[in-house]
Structure 1
Amino acid sequence: MAIVSNFDMKRFGKSILWTVTALLFTATSLAQTEEDANEESLFHQFQEFKTADEKMTFFFNAEDLYRENSTYDWLELVTLNLNAAIKNNDKEDIKKFQLMQARIFYDLGDYDKSLAITKDLYEEIEDLDIYLVSKLLDLMDDNYGQLTMYPEQIDIREKKRDMGIMESVAFYDIYSNLGMYRKAMDDYIANVKRTIEENDFYGQAEYYNNLGNYLRLDGSTPTALSYYKKAKGFADVFLDNVTRKKSENVLREAFLLKGVIEGNIGKCHVDLKEYEQAIPYLEAAINRIKENSNNNREYASEITENSLAISECYLLLKNYAKATDYLSDNLQTNTTENLLKKNRLLALYYEMTEDYKSSASYLRKEIRIRDSISEHESQLRQQQLSTVMMKNLKYSQDMLAEQKLALEKQRNENLAKDKRNSLVLISLLFTLLGFAGLVYAYLKSIKNQRLIAEQKYIIENSLVEKDSLLKEIHHRVKNNLQMVSSLLSLQTKNTRSKAAIEALEEGKSRVKAMALIHQKLYQNEDLSVIEMQSYIESLINSVQSVYKKGGHNINITVDAEGVELDIDRAIPFGLILNELVSNSFKYAFPHGDENGKIYIHLRKNGEHEGYFEYSDNGVGLPEDTEERANTSMGIRLMNRLANQLQTTLNIDKNGDEGVRYWFSFK
């Protein structure tokens, strides 16, 4: 309806007919192109088309347009066609060639010039056909994103939605660029996850890589690393699948994605100070991206980031020759962040090699660059963030307003219907006096409905108050448990007995596990359940803070996404998991945890049943485990907690290769 209101019906019908015809023509042309690829280049095929419509459709649908001729060759060719259209005063053709010219400027990285052309075309959007409008808005969206003009980018996306080009609007890339990584991840999951098929391994790899990016940028490096490894697994499955034919372009894109993922894994290891583990991933990523990118500017930043990361590894490992190989002057630093990092690494290199004059010089460069941009960027970022949030609020308000209008319309219809019914009843009252009793019953029912509505209103208000009280109770319980934990910490400092200290630390860890349950409850909108993925991650971080000397290099995989438990099941479950993780940190890896792995799996087998599994690859359980079970407080505690879950804790011993605990629960 929005499109029809903005365009003349005849022009709209003509544009749709032209678009379908052009797409069919292009499909036929592209099929023929594949057969004659060795005989004629895309550049010459473009010149053979007679009309601007055919040339534009071919231009925007051809794959790898610049594989044989450079962007400058295409710019010269399109400009010649544009000049010819201007000479003939053909306004429709002028717009088509201007749009192609804007696209080439974008591919060259001249976003300002590209945007200037598209803005001129945008002013005449009412006169453009829907195909041209779609390509125009897509290009403006890309330009605003590259120029960090996020409020304008949001306006363009809302325009695409209003014109029916997009069904819904997503802003996760904008949130990420503004540093709102958790909000970006939530919006990304909401808009993208449902669109990926289960057997779409490439899509799954891309999805988990992006989730890892949001988590790494938000500081959750261990969790991000697990998502990157999952993404790499899907990428390997896609590339190893020989049953599905893949074109050369598809394979190149898949290898590029794998290279990006390997680089991200390497950067996670750098953040975790695991430099020797990071280097193979970073080297593989650089080589793979260079082999498949064909000097694509889009991937130049990836190569730079990986080169800086690997240089940092070699510097901190004191391999200065390797470090300087990756810090060469040929390294492209297209972004301010990469330039600052390069200067910092050069300053560190000269400091470590005792060339303090050069080190000070690079530090001064970094300070000058940072001072020149920090204040401006900070103000601009605050303005953009404020504008984006206002637009997001306005978008939500518009949605609510639309819903309110729909409800108001329905209410008016119901009122009109009630009025008609009343008139009928009144006419029946005067016509058929014998139905007086029926009328009385009807009026009484109306009164009852009003009483029910009033009672419903009172009950709803009461439920809201009770929810607030419950949140306050959970908050206070959490605070009280934290106070207990603090008291145990004080007692630990005043105790000299090693056994007593360990017992107090174990008690403090258990108290924190229960406090975390109440914290998650009062933070949730739904007070009846707890989202277990985030709770388990928070619990692991809490246990790591207790055992500061161990556990930080263990690769922990948590698979509990989408599982929710009520408080009666969450508390015993959390205490059991607390005991298991604590035991792994204390006993499973006595010779170091460099290769340590912990796997935590939780799933629902229906509405009221679930399955839990915990395993590590440590030294395993001692031979006298069954005898110790009668005296060990931890094992007895876990068995009693399992009884609360109406289940039995099962233990599988794997000799010297770890242990596995599992149980099903209701």
Structure 2
Amino acid sequence: MKLTTFHVLIVVLMSPYLVQSQSFGEKQVSDLNQELAKLIYSDTESADSLAHVIIRIAQREFLKEEEARSHRYLALMYLLNGKLEEAKVSYTQNLDIALESNNNLWIGKAYYYLSEVTQRQGDDVLTLEYLFKALSFIEDTKDINTLAKIHSSLGTHYRKTGDIEKTEMYYNHALNIRKDQKDSMGLFNSYVLFGTLYSSVNLYDKAKQNYIESLNFINSDVRSPNLGAVYSNLGAVYFQEQNLDSAMLFYDLAVKEYEKSGDVYSKIAVHNNIAALRNEQGDYKGAITTTLAVIGLAKEIDAKKLLSSLYYNLSGNYKALKDFEKSFYYYKLSDSIDYELTNKEKNAQLAELQVQYETEKKDKEIALQNIALVKGSAQRNLLIAGISGLIIISLIIYRALARKKRSNRLLTEQKYLVEKREKEKALLLRELHHRVKNNFQIVSSLLNLQYYDTEDLKAAQAIKSGQARVEAMSMIHRELYQSENITSIEMGDYVKHMIENTAYSFQYESEQIDVLVEVDNKPLSVKYAIPLGIIVNELVTNSFKHAFETVSRPMLSVSIKINEEKGTVSIVVFDNGPGIPDSSHISKSSFGMELIRDLVKQIKGTLSIDSQAGAKFSVDFPLIEEESNVEG
């Protein structure tokens, strides 16, 4: 029986009657699913209604494969329209049916489909778990195409984490499979992925070569979303090369392709890129308009990582327009989403530890039950044999084993509780750093607003200096709550970010100044990191404020050396300015220098100043282990 759109409409309108009374065969339900597959690209409302009718019919007729098929089509429709939670629910229902079937191919595909949703939701932990589960089931089947897709997705995961070696390995696995199969659609996707990889490591010629190679495999099987991805990626490459007109051309083509296909998520992502391009052109208002146009869509589809990026870019554009109130507002929104996603990953890891512990506990209980059964059987045999002495020995051995098992179990439980408490403490400390950083950020924003409302030049400069000091402390706490180690910090990234922010505040572009940063890649305790950060901030600010006005090519060098054997830290900040006329008479009324001296004294260090060729400030201090204040 050939079904038409008219038949589909009748099925939907009469669904209550059909579900309750009309008998459907497997062939008829399969035909309905074929119509559903067409509708998801053209009429989503009708597709949604038809899918639920088919699911009810399939459940009544016990047609599990057709029921799962409807869930998959429904999930794909939700995915294309950016409804990620709805897609996850439908793919989870498909997985539940697959698990009942014990069919490895079906189960592997179900896990792969779920990974596509969690990847878009930004849940990297769950995505990797689903992909490896999919791989373990699919490897035992002959489904080469799905195997290639899983390898591609694994490569993409490792590309995002910066593991280029694993990325190339998985991408090449997928490419070789698709070459053997002469799979046009697969080859198209593989070359697009390689283009994205090379673009991410700034190999733009190789990136363009792969994107253009992918276009050779365009045919009727390659749908519009895939073509949109190529245009979007080519736009990104031209953007990186600062060929902004070509970048805008390809971004516009990508938006048109995504609008044709209804791929809302990708459409938002391209608009975000267009906003960044307009920011680069100095069109901050245009960038804001572009971003605000898709904020609502991003909220609607619950694309948290994408929404965070949109908020962050809005913050930057409002900052460029000196609208600091809105800039701070959108920065807070972005930061809160990032914090939520970070905590989600940590909670997932804690939940996994909990499951492992409960599983181990149940295994031990089962083992004890088995020992009891063996013991009972042995007792009966011994009674029959009449060897009472062996019974006594067995009881003694059993009791000894039971005591040992009990002790081991108690030790395991105590270890788990200790680990759990430590992880809870770490989460609380991370939350504390996050809140401290937010409070510093609020103070910084209030000082910034006050700065623009202050007409007295000297007072304004004092406010700006105060803001810089608050930012220096805020950055320390930001680095701490974002890192795995919450009690120490590697100063390299901190110093680079601090110099960039200071240069920006004094209106220096990166190409206008030579900056040399040499920082040992070793963690430093918070006890020293905070005063050290403020000292370096004061000295760097001093260079930008006083040293570079008469220098044609400014140069700034910051060095932090940590000698763990000797237990010492050496800081050197040097600039090529005119130097200090008489270093022994540096203004003691200067708050900055007084602050530096007080902080150096606090960490039991020494400060020396050399002004022979520019200004050179050296600070040396010992690393003293903190004594425990906890009573035994």
TM-score normalised per structure 2: 0.42
TM-score normalised per structure 1: 0.40
